[in-house]
């Protein structure tokens, strides 16, 4: 079975602990490089259930990050020699024809162990994303986004190979935003590809295309309502080799509406509700409401806590689809030079339509994850970082290989500490 909890460590979307002045690239572009190194420990390299199969190891991680972006447009100062009537007016900046931002993180992991199989799990992970917008202030604006991930995870305690996977999400949108910018709507196309590098795992490869119609209305200065409807196409990309493709085709339909608002300066609320339907060819199906809510509270000028709940159904690499009950919370706090965050979430996850003849067609998991991270800013360009995360997956699923019964449940903890330097 493929892992149920994502292992990709690279998070290009996160704000780095430091960001230097960067280097100009042309007149309107700046690149911000960041480098770092971490050392740490994991108590369960292969996410094994049996104590006899657990392998602990030291961990060395080398990190390289970079962000490239168009410069922010700043208002031009008023010329002191202008006429009196012009001095009181600030010159309006020209609307940019193009805005872009791209970033990414490369992460090399080396396992410090005397076990040859453990050392063979070394790998390079990547998380890259980009955002391009043409005519951002125009009545019609075009938006292109792409998010590329290469995740690396060991398979099991006797394998030299990992479940290295490439996932890419591409989105193209054309939006209409009339004068006032309080309303906008448009069409968006999204393409998701999941590709396993090892030929023995390519039976799970998939492609998802979805067409969205979206609408937003800035009802009040701090309240936005929105709606989204989509029609998708899910298909297999398996090569039909040693293990035939298992991904069944489907055409999911989703729709819903939501609201994001600030009740007060301290309380924020987000909520959405909708409906989702999918019927997999020769497999399972769902026809169900989906909903979620998030409440945030700023308990101090430098501290905020967020609690959320999600009930959702999504396509799955392990089967046809999975259903999640998720409850989570996280807190962000700044204390002097220390910036920290901590969070936890619990998921009651149900898989349906597991096609491989190694176990039952359904699976129920209790997934728990808890972690914390902090950075200490020594200087504007240098920071120390520490990260801890524990994952627990307890499942009722049992698979059979060669007459042996395998329980894919596991508990895994990883702790690392290091530095970040920005240029």
pLDDT, tens only, 91-135: 445 567 889 899 999 999 999 999 998 998 899 999 999 999 999
113 Cα distance to chain centroid: 30
Whole-number Å distance between alpha carbons of 56 and 112: 10
CATH of the domain at 125: 2.40.160
Helix (H, G, I), strand (E, B) or coil at 345: strand
Read off the tokens for 75.
């208002």
pTM score of the predicted model: 0.85
pLDDT of res. 157: 62
Instruction: Please state the domain count of the chain.
Output: 1
Domain presence at residue 11: no
137: left (phi over 0), alpha (psi -120 to 50) or beta: alpha
Cα atoms in the 13 Å half-sphere on the side-chain side of 371: 17
Quote the DSSP letter at residue 250: B
Domain presence at residue 4: no
Domain presence at residue 9: no
Distances 213 to 21, 93, 132, 134 between C-alpha atoms, Å:
39, 32, 20, 19
Domain presence at residue 237: yes
Whole-number Å distance between alpha carbons of 272 and 267: 17
Strand positions, DSSP E, 139-282? 140-151, 165-176, 183-196, 206-220, 223-236, 253-262, 267-279
pLDDT of res. 185: 95
Least confident of 32-41, 84-93, 112-121, 163-172: 84-93
Domain presence at residue 2: no
Whole-number Å distance between alpha carbons of 395 and 390: 17
Domain span holding position 195: 23-422
Distances 95 to 27, 98, 138, 142 between C-alpha atoms, Å:
16, 9, 9, 15
Q: Does residue 187 contact residue 211 with C-beta atoms inside 8 Å?
A: yes
């Amino acid at each position: 079975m493929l892992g149920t909890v994502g292992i990709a460590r690279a998070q290009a979307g996160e704000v780095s602990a430091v960001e230097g002045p960067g280097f100009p690239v042309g007149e309107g572009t700046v690149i911000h490089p960041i480098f770092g190194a971490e050392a740490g420990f994991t108590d369960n390299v292969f996410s094994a259930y049996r104590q006899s199969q657990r392998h602990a190891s030291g961990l060395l991680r080398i990190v390289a990050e970079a962000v490239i972006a168009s410069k922010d447009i700043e208002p031009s100062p008023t010329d002191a020699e202008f006429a009196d009537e012009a001095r009181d007016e600030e010159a309006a900046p020209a609307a940019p024809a193009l805005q872009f931002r791209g970033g990414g993180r490369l992460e090399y992991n080396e396992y410090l162990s005397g076990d040859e199989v453990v050392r063979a799990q070394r790998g390079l992970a990547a998380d890259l994303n980009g955002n391009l917008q043409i005519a951002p202030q125009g009545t019609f604006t075009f938006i292109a986004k792409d998010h590329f991930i290469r995740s690396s995870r060991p398979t099991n305690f006797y394998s030299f190979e990992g479940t290295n996977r490439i996932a890419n999400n591409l989105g193209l949108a054309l939006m209409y935003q009339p004068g006032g910018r309080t309303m906008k709507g448009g069409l968006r196309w999204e393409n998701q590809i999941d590709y396993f590098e090892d030929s023995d795992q390519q039976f799970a490869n998939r492609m998802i295309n979805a067409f969205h119609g979206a609408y937003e209305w800035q009802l009040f200065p701090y309240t936005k309502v929105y709606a989204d409807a989509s029609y998708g196409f899910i298909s297999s990309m398996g090569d039909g080799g040693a293990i035939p493709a298992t991904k069944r085709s489907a055409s999911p339909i989703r729709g819903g509406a939501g609201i994001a608002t600030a009740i007060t300066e301290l309380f924020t609320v987000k909520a959405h509700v909708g409906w989702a339907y999918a019927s997999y060819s020769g497999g399972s199906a769902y026809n169900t409401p989906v909903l979620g809510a998030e409440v945030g509270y700023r308990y101090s000028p430098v501290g905020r806590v967020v609690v959320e709940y999600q009930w959702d159904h999504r396509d799955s690499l392990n089967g046809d689809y999975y259903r999640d009950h998720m409850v989570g919370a996280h807190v962000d706090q700044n204390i002097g030079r220390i910036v920290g965050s901590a969070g936890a979430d619990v998921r009651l996850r149900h898989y349906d339509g597991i096609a491989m003849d190694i176990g039952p067609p359904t699976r129920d998991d209790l997934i728990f994850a808890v972690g914390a991270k902090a950075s200490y800013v020594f200087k504007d360009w240098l920071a120390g970082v520490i990260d801890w995360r524990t994952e627990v997956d307890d499942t009722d699923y049992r698979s059979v290989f060669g007459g042996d019964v395998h329980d894919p449940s596991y508990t895994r903890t990883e702790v690392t500490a290091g530095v970040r330097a920005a240029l």
